[in-house]
Structure 1
Amino acid sequence: GYIADTMFQGRRKTLSLLICTSGAIFLALMALVGPSWGVVIGMALAIGLSMTIASYASVLQTVAVESVPRAQAGSAVGGLMIGLSLGAMAGPPLFGAVIDFTGQFADGWLTTAAIVAFGLFILKFKYKEGAEQTH
């Protein structure tokens, strides 16, 4: 939130796109982690993910509030929290199902990166920054 308000002058869409793009790249790079340098590379990517995907909640909540008329802000945050909880619940089994289906651990990371990239696409083309939405 602080970075969005200061370094990005309140342009949350720009910051959100940067966070999602970086997060998708870090997730895709997790597919390259192997046994030789796996711990070192995995830790570096985990740090990158902690600074992007894991720290995204405050910016995402602000985006949700700004995406709807003021009277619907509470519903937007509530819907967001339901969606985040469902994602946290469904994500790990989906990750495991992909690995079971393909036999490749890397495919779980690539699927996760693809889901984040899809969210990036929605954010880029559907979110109108700075104006209340009129849906």
Structure 2
Amino acid sequence: GRNQQSGRYKRQYYNDGSQGGYGYSYQQNDRYNRDRETFMNPGANNSSTNSSENPERDRACLMQCFFQEMKMTNSEGFPDKHKVLHVVTKDLRDHELKDFYIDSIQECFHLIGMDNKLKDKCDYSMKFVTCLAERGQANCNDWENEAIMF
């Protein structure tokens, strides 16, 4: 497969014969593991602390990382409404679907923005993704719970 040495991950592509398609897996390098450990446990001096004891926190920070890697965050690492709108809708040709995404993104940013206690970029990212998923489930007849990847 093709390895990418730059950035946080070495990306390996593989052909999964059982499904007949291509997938990818990430191998985390040592620097990423140290950075993640420090990020997930800022008060801990012990590098053996296991952050996977809180899978909800891991999932929330994975969402934040997704937004950051897709260049959809502001300078503090929070999802940015205008950047998210651009990235998500730039290639959509179906006007009804594009309008739904625009309305959903704007409404979710508005709802989350009303929560003055939400100061954490991981929690903010997760609440945003959850809001979008709930809007999709409530408004799309072909939405399947099994299809939700987050």
Taking structure 2 as the reference length, the TM-score comes to 0.32
Larger Rg: 2
Q: Higher helix proportion, which one?
A: 1
Taking structure 1 as the reference length, the TM-score comes to 0.34
Q: Higher strand proportion, which one?
A: 2
